Structure 1
Amino acid sequence: MKQGSLYETFVQLAALVFAFIVVQAVYTTVIRPIADDIQTFQAEQQQIDENFVPERSVFVILKDIEQQACITLMLWATFIIGLKTQQTIKQRGLLDRTLVQVNEGMSVLPEDSRNYARPVQALPEQEQDFLLPRALLAGLHRFQTT
């Protein structure tokens, strides 16, 4: 497993723990107490007036563990999507740069591929792990060997 992949896994697990703690705190301090108060009030009203129709409350709907799990996973997924979006934006910056200097109509020979690979190899190490430089280097290496 690469170091970047291990770091990304750790960050995602930390985000899951953070989402769980935040959602659990909100449920314990806000949602469940309000839902219990609403249900108690509605039960009292039904005993007083048999024609009383209880209104639906968001707190009563959200109080169950299934909804808590869904909200926790939604926050976690949102964080992961944000992380992937940030990585994609960084990698899109490479698409605007010219990594291989080849003029239009110019023929490239296999023995020249090492010279074309040098600017890509000169990128900072973090950028060399991006998809475009890896694909270019793999293509140039394959072109050189065939």
Structure 2
Amino acid sequence: MSLRNPERGLFSVKGLIFTLGLIASFIFVGTLYGLIIRPGANKADLANSYGVDVGSSFSSLFVILKDYEQQICISLFLWGLMILIYKFILLNYEAKTLGRFAPESEGLDTEPEVDLLAGARSITRERAGALSAEIDSKSQQHDLHNKILPYVMARGLERYHMTGSVPEATETIMGRLEVASEQQESELSMLRYLVWAIPSIGFIGTVRGIGVALQRADEALQGDISGVTSALGVAFNSTLVALFISIVLMLLIHLLQGGQEGLILRLQTFCREQLIDKLYDREETAIREQQTEDKEQKSASQDEARSER
């Protein structure tokens, strides 16, 4: 994930997953259906027509999965799973980046990637400029390229170096983190669409199955209910598979969203405690020193007045 160079284009990792991943999932599932599922379902139907018990749980599963609506739902689920795996990998990389800049917060006994204080008690305006350049230089490394934390830190320190204002640096850092959170949220839109689309495809199978069953109602009145039961099987099985897949997919999306929100909160905590609170605000320090001096003068004048009395 990047605020500067978001992955775009067909040949980026994200582009390959969103385009070739979709095609690959349909090809893989279609091959699986052509070689295993539909032949197994046809064999089970043939055995049942002769009153033979196949005795295999896989045969019953193949009968449930054999129709085209289920095939489309499974293909979309596999595609959504590819997107989720990619997002979880990015989330893991971002967490590792936080561990490199704040190892103590992650329970790691290693040196931080950049020593923000370098033995000092605070970060001065001149030090902020040097740190910003150092972090930008390290961000060019492959394992830190386009990561959220170094980019946010560099921009906040750069703003403080330019303006010398802690509030402006704080606004820059928190604003960038808010943008990162919104970008992560927007990238879940395709997954949310799949969660809506998969049950809808299942309901299409339900409508199709009920329609076929109504068309064969005359056969049922004549005593042959096999066509009606087969059509109703299509109706109920498609809904069953679609709802089950959507439940699993929604669970994974919630886990991903929770991880992303937790990451942003950890980044905000780190930036506030280890960066913003360490910035040296000369104006604020001068005000505090003036207030302290005024209090001392006031106290001295009170002591003189008491001694004169």
TM-score interval for Structure 1 and Structure 2 normalised by the shorter chain: 0.7 to 0.9
- 2:160: which partner in 1? 143
Normalising by structure 2, we get a TM-score of: 0.40
Q: Indicate conservation of the 8 Å contact 1:100/1:119, yes or no.
A: no
Q: Indicate conservation of the 8 Å contact 2:136/2:151, yes or no.
A: no
- 1:122: which partner in 2? 137
Residue in structure 1 matching 2:14, options 9, 12, 17: 9
Normalising by structure 1, we get a TM-score of: 0.78
**What amino acid maps onto 2:154 in structure 1?**
L
Report the alpha carbon displacement of residue 2 of structure 1 after superposing the two structures with TM: 4.2
Report the alpha carbon displacement of residue 132 of structure 1 after superposing the two structures with TM: 0.7
Report the alpha carbon displacement of residue 20 of structure 1 after superposing the two structures with TM: 1.0
5+ residue gaps, structure 2:
101-111, 166-309
**What amino acid maps onto 2:38 in structure 1?**
R
- 2:26: which partner in 1? 20
Residue 40 in structure 1 maps to residue 46 in structure 2: yes
Percent identity, aligned pairs only, is 26
User: What aligned pairs does 1:51-62 form with structure 2 within 5 A after superposition?
Assistant: 57-62=60-65
Aligned-partner Cα distance in 1 for 2:36–2:82: 23
- Per-residue Cα deviation, 1:78-130 (whole angstroms, up to 9, x for no partner): 22222222223333232222234215872223343111112211215242410
Aligned-partner Cα distance in 2 for 1:111–1:123: 19
Aligned-partner Cα distance in 1 for 2:98–2:14: 26
Q: Aligned pair in 2 of structure 1 residues 87, 117: CA closer, same or farther (>3 Å)?
A: same
5+ residue gaps, structure 1:
47-54
Matched position secondary structure for 2:122: coil
- Per-residue Cα deviation, 1:55-97 (whole angstroms, up to 9, x for no partner): 9811110001221122112222222222222223333232222
CA RMSD of aligned residues (A): 2.7
Q: Indicate conservation of the 8 Å contact 2:128/2:160, yes or no.
A: yes
